[in-house]
Structure 1
Amino acid sequence: MKRRTKAALGAASVLTGMYAANKLIYKNTPKLESVLDGDKKYFNTKYGQTFYVKNGDGEPLIFVHGLASGMSSFMWRKNFEELAKHFTVYAIDLPGFGKSDKKAIIYKPYMYIDVLRTFAKDVVGEPAYVISSGQSSAYIFQLEYENPGMFKKIVTVCPTGIFELSSPPALNQKLLSFSLRTPIIGTFAYNVMVSKPSIKYFLKRKTYYNKENASAYVINQYSKASKQNKSLSKYAPASFLGGYLNYSIIGILPYINSPTLIIWGENAKINTINNLKSFIDLNPKITYNIIDNSGYLPQEEHPAEFNGICKNFLLTSNDS
């Protein structure tokens, strides 16, 4: 009996410590501010207030970030203003990320497809160009498949949906996601996962080719973005890690007729360049550029080259 009592007291003590640590972490997390220059606005969706920035003049161009922990429109900070010289640019923070609202739900692809559809139709209001990254690219392809001509041209950075992040959630992924969604313990585990040392390790080892890109400034920004709205911040990343945001485009990619350019970092580790061929095989009309000495985020590592490639592709007439 005494052993059980001691065990119970020990467990309670651990939980109390975790709860206190979580509370302190969120108390010390500064409010996230967008570093993009432009009009900062929100629009309503069934998943809450969704943040975006608008700048420039000309035909509309939408930037859509990837879905990993800490992601937001921040990833376009080296591209947004340059492209605003030629387009009316929009950069969105998807629900569950950045400055947008977050909910205690399992996020699913149809939710983001719905939000992007609403954004394109109700906020932008006309056919647009789009630049997307990673998993969001699969949702862009789905929207173009459903609504041909919604996107005049598509640029995707290290896209997924064929081999990478295309399968239904596996049991171990579901268990991981469930664990992270649990109160106190799951929240504590998530906070460890998105601590500055963890973010630094991931950015240096998995994301960037040049480790110097994982500066204190960048790490701080990812750290802040991953902890907004307190424990609600964990649900979108938990959905991602659980495989719930995986989406296959194998059946639709051959039918995409909108001019499409894929940009891939030659040294990407998360989603390697070996996957590029599968996109071309399914749709030979797709063109591509490979950026040397670059990892998963070539738009950050070589912004001048990336911006030049995008401008050349987007501003060139289809008849040229």
Structure 2
Amino acid sequence: MDNTIKKVGKGLLWGLGGTAAALLTSIAGWIVYSKKYINHHQGITGALDADLFEVTTQNAGRLGYYADLSGKGTPLVLLHSINAAPSALEMKPIFDHYRGKRPIYALDLPGFGFSDRSDRLYSARLYQDAIVEFIREVVGKSADVVALSLSCEFAALAAVYSPEWIRSLVMISPTGFKQPRTDKISQRARQHGAQSQVYAGLAVPLWNRPFYDLVSSRPSIQHFLNLSFEGYVPPSFVDYAYVTAHQLGAQYAPTYFLSGKLFTPAVRETVYKVLEQPVLVIYDQDPYTNFEMLPGMLQEKENWRAERIPPTRGLPHWEQPEKTFSALEAFWKEL
């Protein structure tokens, strides 16, 4: 019996050892493939059919942006989301609808598009500064801001700390309304700085870019966009996401995002509740967050309102554009 147990144990060890060896070989092979055969200098063109400009700011550095100033009225500033491969293309339906009707801008946030993608600290404060500096130095007057997903948190921070530059805020599928976790595991993770540990693990130069190449591969991009669309995903959306993710330095900002370091803790209580500007939330279903705590905010804050636009999964302006535009018009009409 003892000999049988020993033989079984040895067999298991050999099996586990073989599996580990195969896994390590696959990882090493992907690292080599990423560095030698994946083109990280894809030819990139503008995400929008509009004039592309850039400005260099004190805190955020170089910022790329699109603009159409042929319209009149209060300027409109559009902010794309933060994910593995975002771009101003995410805001295209709104940009195209309002160009010529009012001055409109679409900003490439730091680390993305034609903005500075250098290896530096990316944080909520950096994005807050970028938004304020952009509106102050380029737009030059108080603007209506429309932000998508996590960028809603950055726009809210900018509106709280520099209220003179933001007249109103529209949040499309915002983060920050999920019921906070109170289990012991999440508490322990926060106590031990899990986000910093995850970032340190992902940011190791040997595999940082190869890991990002996996996350930003065409199949991966297609998969995540399938989750965000109720219906058909435009091929151009996938194509541009792939191209913008395969630029020099494209991995740096997403690494901070993937490690969770760009989210503001308790943003609902510390930022959203402090907002004094009129706020409109446009939402429905979202595969990456939920809006459990939104009704409470609407009850507590008179300057907040919300419009649910089904059936959508985070991009209502793409799948239900007319309903989205109607909600925007009704909101701005009351300002």
| Alignment TM class, shorter chain as reference | 0.7 to 0.9
1:221 aligns with 2:236: no
| Correspondence list, 1:1-320, <5 A | 15=28, 18-27=31-40, 30-45=42-57, 46-55=59-68, 56-58=70-72, 59-163=74-178, 170=190, 171-204=193-226, 206-210=227-231, 212-213=232-233, 215-229=234-248, 232-247=249-264, 248-264=267-283, 266-314=284-332, 316-318=333-335
State the distance in 2 between where 1:21 and 1:259 align.
47
* 8 Å contact kept, 1:152–1:258: yes
Moved more, 131-140 or 171-180: 171-180
**Paired residue type of 2:66:** V
Cα displacement (A) at 1:207: 1.5
State the distance in 1 between where 2:238 and 2:288 align.
18
SS at 2:292 equivalent: helix
Cα displacement (A) at 1:282: 4.4
State the distance in 1 between where 2:51 and 2:198 align.
38
Cα displacement (A) at 1:275: 4.1
* 8 Å contact kept, 2:30–2:210: no
Gaps of 5+ in 2: 1-22
TM-score computed with the length of structure 1 as normaliser: 0.85
Structure number with greater Rg is: 2
Cα displacement (A) at 1:172: 4.3
* 8 Å contact kept, 2:169–2:280: yes
Cα displacement (A) at 1:249: 4.0
Cα displacement (A) at 1:30: 2.4
Cα displacement (A) at 1:14: 6.6
Cα displacement (A) at 1:89: 0.3
Cα displacement (A) at 1:12: 9.8
Cα RMSD, aligned residues only = 2.7
Cα displacement (A) at 1:284: 3.5
* 8 Å contact kept, 1:60–1:89: yes
Cα displacement (A) at 1:198: 0.9
TM-score computed with the length of structure 2 as normaliser: 0.82
Distance verdict in 2 for CA 1:154–1:11, change over 3 Å: closer
Distance verdict in 2 for CA 1:228–1:14, change over 3 Å: same
The corresponding residue for 1:3 is none
Provide, for residues 35-55 of structure 1, a one-character-per-residue CA deviation record: whole Å limited to 9, x for no partner: 323221001034432110001
Cα displacement (A) at 1:165: 9.4
State the distance in 1 between where 2:63 and 2:323 align.
30
State the distance in 1 between where 2:108 and 2:324 align.
21
Gaps of 5+ in 1: 1-9
Identity of aligned residues (%): 23
Provide, for residues 248-287 of structure 1, a one-character-per-residue CA deviation record: whole Å limited to 9, x for no partner: 24123333221111100x2222122434324324424311
State the distance in 1 between where 2:121 and 2:260 align.
10
SS at 2:54 equivalent: strand
State the distance in 1 between where 2:90 and 2:51 align.
18
* 8 Å contact kept, 1:106–1:244: no
State the distance in 2 between where 1:164 and 1:111 align.
26
